[in-house]
Amino acid sequence: MIDLHAHSLLSDGALLPSELVRRAYAIGYKAIGIADHADISNIDFIVPRIVKASRALTSTKIKVIPAVELTHVPPKDFPPLIKYARANGIRLVIVHGETIVEPVIPGTNARALECDIDILAHPGLITLKDAKTAARRGIYLELTAKRGHSLTNGHVARMACEAKARLILNTDAHGPEDLITRDTAISIILGSGLTQAQARAVLKNSLRLLEKT
């Protein structure tokens, strides 16, 4: 299992990075991204700590990726925050997309997809136009295991398939109960309406993105 979007207590997760990584390894993870929530108020606090933890916790048994999830950020502020994160050791930049269960600023999806990001997380009722932008720019659209955010997985999958955008499956884990096995990951992808072959391709996308970091 490769899961590139999980949270520690550096933002609103329940576990220390070390606990999160250990629990992930114990259920079969090969890699995990520590992607705590950030905006202008805390990015300078969490980025060095995520990077430090990722370096300390990576081993031959599990790879830990320093990531960040820009969350409820005014779209105009994406470029400087992304630039800061990448300049200071962050290897995956995720933007908190327009999930239907939170009041995300309208236009977040469209603006984020024009920026230097890797994953648009739980993008809700993403438009076909935005999905085509993701395809053109090589940005991954996230299917999610997270309750609430997952309500639009089927729509995201349809838009991605029509636009030929790449999909990825992450947990958006905030606690140990949110971590999943590979079999559960496949079931969630199938639940979005994709086939077994497409589900395997989605999981391969996680490996493809991991190898780029």
Contact between 205 and 167 (Cβ < 8 Å): yes
Can you give the pLDDT at residue 163?
Answer: 98
Torsional sign, CA 181, 30, 171, 178 = positive
pLDDT in tens, 180-206: 999 999 999 999 999 999 999 999 999
Can you give the pLDDT at residue 147?
Answer: 96
Percent of the chain with pLDDT over 90: 99
The enclosing domain of 60 has a CATH number of 3.20.20.140
Nearest 5 degrees, angle CA 18-CA 9-CA 44? 100
Q: Are strands 119-121 and 31-38 parallel, antiparallel or unpaired?
A: unpaired
Percent of the chain with pLDDT over 70: 100
Q: How many domains does the chain have?
A: 1
Q: Quick one: average pLDDT of 153-159?
A: 98
Residues 6 or more apart whose Cβ sits within 8 Å of residue 143: 150, 153, 156, 157, 167, 168, 169, 170, 188, 189, 192, 202
Can you give the pLDDT at residue 61?
Answer: 94
Question: Which band of pLDDT confidence, cut at 50, 70 and 90, is reported for residue 104?
Answer: very high
State which residues form the domain around 17: 2-212
